[in-house]
């Protein structure tokens, strides 16, 4: 049914005499009914990828298949795809009802009564029944968002494409709509490709996440896999907030030697590392824990630089005793822990929580252990 | 309501307090000069119109016996000049409307089509650019430079023969000039219409057009159902501009209809000779005629004024 496959999809834009590769050889396979979130920093090619699926951009090379059929040369109006835009792109001169009916009138042979029935149904699903006779200019941002979604679901397409649909909403409304979108997608069970730069949306909404950087696909995996078993340093740094701490280290025998600390490794970790010597040590802020005294081999003395209280937890900027001023890393500790700037505290970085990346390629060589 | 009242009350008490502070100390020299300057400019622009209006209501002796801007007194007041001007210009009003309205509507519509084609269609920019360049070049061709080629062109086109069925219906064959005027004005108005619409369509939400494409609409349907209904303000601008241009144009009518004795003479041709005779100029009649000739353009401004303001602002 609604399986969507991207096979070696590449987009090259001409730029003066040269060219810019916006999307580079991306392979993604989406199951029918899957919710895939495409995430990455701005300019990473995620929107271009989505627009190629929609048919709004041509494909430089590669193939896009929908339900097994190649759709490279199918015009957007014949692709049976509905898209929700960041700006909602409602038709300002039409009422909500006309906005929602437009797609059905243009793409199907349904009778007026049948169209009206489907519009009413979809409006009920989206909770906008009482707005049907209003113009978009009379609606709030959240209501417009619902109309834009309603306009997509009324078509009952093979695939939904969503281009940062929540980014114009305020924070509270955004988290509400996030939950609602998930519920809706679950209910309708339509294959959905969702583009965002917000890693919270990516983590909470998607069945799987596809992470793009500079046009290249970094990893496609479930949110928890991306979080705990990142394929490379980019994914590790992109997913998670506050983001993972990285330290450039050199392996010297069985010890990692950093600028301000030494970190001994166990035999099993050393097996993963192999003969790589330039490494990056990564540890998530929540895995940095306070220790009573600096007696263990993975405990370090640090100085507190800044504390940002968040209520439930404190984000603490720490500096190794030997490290230069301003060279800090982040730990999150419980909200009731009394920590203040200038304190000298001892922390522990447990070995089962560390990630190690190849210092040159950035590929992960060792990921943290997960208790099954 | 109560808020309004309070604000109003506040302003009033403030100004009255300022005025009572001392009649001389409250006067701001800069403001006095500013308002004097503004009043002077107002008078400068309004006096010609006022003079024309009062002159049109004067008898011939009233015109010679009083200052141009002085209003008519009891004995020198007459509506006769307006009546005479209307009698003389009546057929010209109809003839002008016969070509000005179709030419305005057709050039605006074609301009809108063309602009849609060179903005929202998915042609490559390198194909759009030369076409746009041709349109822009068209704007800068002066009318005077094309008068001779224009009359030669129409002498080569067998328009009069091919419209034979009209003349056999009893329509005066002078009206071939009206048809020529329609085609000529559409052709010369098209570039500016296209460029005006183009800038409007450039600012139209691209995502909205893309949404319509994904909704299954063809490029023609998108124009019909999305772009055209949203073009109202720009149509107001173009209609007002084109109508004023075409209605007031004398040059093409001189070339294509030529004489005011023609059955198809437009109002501008008749107006040019109105009130002029060997005995001298009948200024009152000329003024009344000028106002009658200006009324349709004024009516168009008033009719589309609101959309015009919106269209100019975007």
| Angle between helix B176-202 and helix B143-156 axes, rounded to 10 deg | 130
Interchain pair B216, A85: CB under 8 A: no
- Is B11 domain-assigned? no
Check residue B299 and give its pLDDT. 92
Specify whether the CB–CB gap between A256 and A282 falls below 8 A.
no
Cβ(A244)–Cβ(A235) below 8 Å: no
Within-domain flag for B4: no
d(CA A11, CA B228) in angstroms, rounded, equals: 33
Same domain, B87 and B35: no
- Per residue of chain B (314 residues), what is the pLDDT tens digit? 444 444 444 444 444 444 445 566 677 889 999 999 999 999 999 999 999 999 889 888 888 888 888 888 878 888 888 998 888 888 899 999 999 999 999 999 999 999 998 887 777 777 888 888 998 998 898 888 888 999 899 888 888 888 878 888 878 878 888 899 999 999 999 999 999 999 999 888 888 999 998 888 888 999 999 999 999 889 999 999 999 999 999 899 888 888 888 888 888 888 888 877 777 788 889 899 999 999 999 999 998 888 888 877 76
The predicted pLDDT at position B10 comes to 43
- Contact predicate A59/A25, CB 8 Å: no
Of B207, B210, B221, the CB nearest to A106: B221
B266 and B305 assigned to the same domain: yes
Within 10 A of A109 (CB to CB), how many other CB atoms are there? 7
Q: For B169-185, what is the HEC assignment?
A: CCCCHHHHHHHHHHHHH
Query: Which residues of chain A does B230 touch, with a Cβ-Cβ cutoff of 8 Å?
Result: 92-93
Of A83, A87, A151, the CB nearest to B205: A87
Q: What is the pLDDT of residue A218?
A: 92
CATH number of A244-366: 2.40.50.140
Predicted confidence at residue B62, as pLDDT, reads 82
Q: Testing the interface with B: which of A106, A115, A162, A168 to mutate, by most B Cβ within 10 A?
A: A106
Homologous superfamily of domain range A4-237: P-loop containing nucleotide triphosphate hydrolases (3.40.50.300)
CB contacts of B125 in chain A (<8 Å) are none
Whether B124 and B46 share a structural domain: no
CB contact under 8 A, B230 and A106: no
Write the pLDDT tens digit of every residue in A136-186.
999 988 899 889 989 998 988 889 999 988 888 888 888 888 888 888 888
Say what the pLDDT of residue A372 is.
56
**What local confidence, expressed as pLDDT, does residue B25 receive?**
65
Q: How many residues does chain B have?
A: 314
Q: What residues contact B144, with CB distance under 8 A and at least 6 apart?
A: B251
Alpha-carbon span A303 to A340, nearest angstrom = 10
Report CB contact under 8 Å: A85, B207: yes
- For residue A277, what pLDDT is reported? 85
Residue B164 lies in a domain: yes
The β-bridge partners of A28 are: A6
How many domains are contained in chain B? 2
The per-residue pLDDT for B171 is 80
Say how far apart CA A141 and CA A147 lie, in whole Å: 10
Chain A residues with CB-CB distance to B215 below 8 A = 77, 82, 102-103, 106-107, 151, 155
Every domain range in chain A assigned CATH 3.40.50.300 = 4-237
Statement to judge: residues B106 and B233 lie in one domain: yes
Rounded distance, CA A72 to CA B107, Å?
A: 39
At B229, which CATH number? 1.10.3720.10
Residue A311 per-residue DSSP state: S
Shared-domain flag, residues B163 and B298: yes
CA angle B310, B243, B57 (to 5 degrees): 105
CATH 2.40.50.140 residue ranges of chain A are 244-366
Cβ burial A118-138 (10 Å sphere, 16+ → b, else e): bbeebbebbebeebbeebbee
Domain edge (last residue) among B78, B105, B139: B78
Each residue's pLDDT, cut to its tens digit, for chain A (372 residues) gives 578 999 989 999 888 788 888 888 889 999 998 999 999 888 888 889 999 999 888 899 999 998 888 888 888 888 888 999 988 899 999 999 999 999 899 888 889 999 999 999 899 888 888 999 999 999 988 899 889 989 998 988 889 999 988 888 888 888 888 888 888 888 888 899 999 988 888 888 889 999 999 889 999 999 999 999 999 999 999 998 889 999 999 988 888 888 888 888 888 888 888 888 899 999 999 999 888 776 778 888 888 999 998 888 889 999 988 788 778 899 998 877 788 888 888 889 988 899 999 988 889 988 887 765
Range of the domain at B58: 27-78
Cβ contacts of B248 within 8 Å, gap of 6 or more? B268, B297
* Contact state of B230 with A54 under an 8 Å Cβ cutoff: no
């Amino acid at each position: 049914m609604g399986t969507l496959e991207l096979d070696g999809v590449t987009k090259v834009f001409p730029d003066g005499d040269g060219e810019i590769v916006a999307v580079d050889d991306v392979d993604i396979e989406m199951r029918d009914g899957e919710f895939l979130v495409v995430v990455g920093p701005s300019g990473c090619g995620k929107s271009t990828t989505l627009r190629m699926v929609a048919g709004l951009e041509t494909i430089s090379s590669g193939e896009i298949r929908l339900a097994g059929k190649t759709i490279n040369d199918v015009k957007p109006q014949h692709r049976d795809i509905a898209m929700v835009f960041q700006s909602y792109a409602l038709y300002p001169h039409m009422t909500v009802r006309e906005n929602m009916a437009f797609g059905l009138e243009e793409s199907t042979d349904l009778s007026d009564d049948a169209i009206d029935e489907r519009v009413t149904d979809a409006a009920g699903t989206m909770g906008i029944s009482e707005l049907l006779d209003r113009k978009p200019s009379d609606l709030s941002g959240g209501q417009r968002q619902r109309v834009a979604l309603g306009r997509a679901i009324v078509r009952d397409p093979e695939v939904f494409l969503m281009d940062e649909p929540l980014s114009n909403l305020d924070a509270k409304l955004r988290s509400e709509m996030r939950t609602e979108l998930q519920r809706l997608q679950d209910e309708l069970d339509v294959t959905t490709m969702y583009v965002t730069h917000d890693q919270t949306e990516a983590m909470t909404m998607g069945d799987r996440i596809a992470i793009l950087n500079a046009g290249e696909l970094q990893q496609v995996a479930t949110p928890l896999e991306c979080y705990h078993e990142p394929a490379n340093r980019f994914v590790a740094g992109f997913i998670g907030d506050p983001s993972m701490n990285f330290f450039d280290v050199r392996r010297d025998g069985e010890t990692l030697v950093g600028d301000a600390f030494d970190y001994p490794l166990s035999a099993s970790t050393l097996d993963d590392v192999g003969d790589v010597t330039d490494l990056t040590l990564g540890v998530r802020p929540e895995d940095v824990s306070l220790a009573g005294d600096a007696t263990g081999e993975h405990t370090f003395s640090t100085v507190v630089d800044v504390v940002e209280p968040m209520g439930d937890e404190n984000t603490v900027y720490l500096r190794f005793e030997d490290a230069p001023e301003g060279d800090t890393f982040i730990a999150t500790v419980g909200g009731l822990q009394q920590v203040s700037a200038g304190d000298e505290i001892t922390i522990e970085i447990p070995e089962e929580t560390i990630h190690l990346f190849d210092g040159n390629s950035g590929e992960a060589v060792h990921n943290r252990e997960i208790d099954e | 309501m109560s808020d309004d009242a309070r604000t109003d009350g506040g302003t009033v008490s403030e100004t009255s307090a300022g005025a009572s502070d001392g009649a001389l100390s409250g006067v701001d020299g800069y403001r006095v000069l500013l308002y004097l300057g503004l009043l002077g400019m107002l008078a400068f622009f309004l006096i010609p119109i006022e003079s024309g209006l009062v002159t049109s209501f004067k008898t011939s002796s009233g015109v010679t016996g009083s200052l141009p801007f002085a209003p008519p007194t009891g004995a020198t007041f007459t509506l006769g000049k307006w009546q005479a001007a209307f009698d003389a210009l009546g057929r010209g009003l109809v003839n002008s409307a016969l070509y000005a309205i179709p030419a305005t509507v057709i050039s605006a519509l074609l301009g809108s089509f063309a602009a849609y084609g060179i903005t929202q269609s998915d042609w490559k920019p390198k194909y759009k650019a030369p076409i746009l360049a041709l349109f822009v070049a068209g704007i800068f061709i002066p009318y005077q430079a094309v008068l001779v080629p224009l009359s030669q062109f129409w002498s080569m086109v067998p328009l009069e023969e091919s419209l034979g069925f009209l003349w056999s219906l009893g329509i005066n064959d002078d009206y071939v000039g009206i048809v020529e005027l329609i085609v000529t004005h559409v052709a010369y108005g098209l570039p500016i219409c296209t460029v005006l619409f183009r800038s409007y369509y450039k600012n139209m939400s691209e995502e909205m057009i893309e949404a319509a494409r994904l909704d299954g609409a063809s490029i023609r349907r998108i124009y019909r159902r999305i772009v055209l209904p949203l073009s109202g303000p720009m149509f107001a601008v173009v209609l007002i501009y084109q109508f004023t241009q075409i209605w007031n144009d004398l040059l093409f009518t001189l070339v294509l209809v030529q004489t005011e004795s023609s059955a198809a003479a437009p109002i501008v041709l008749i107006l040019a000779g109105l009130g002029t005779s060997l005995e001298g100029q009948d200024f009152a009649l000329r003024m009344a005629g000028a106002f009658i000739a200006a009324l349709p353009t004024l009516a168009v401004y008033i009719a589309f004024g609101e959309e015009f303001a919106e269209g100019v602002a975007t």
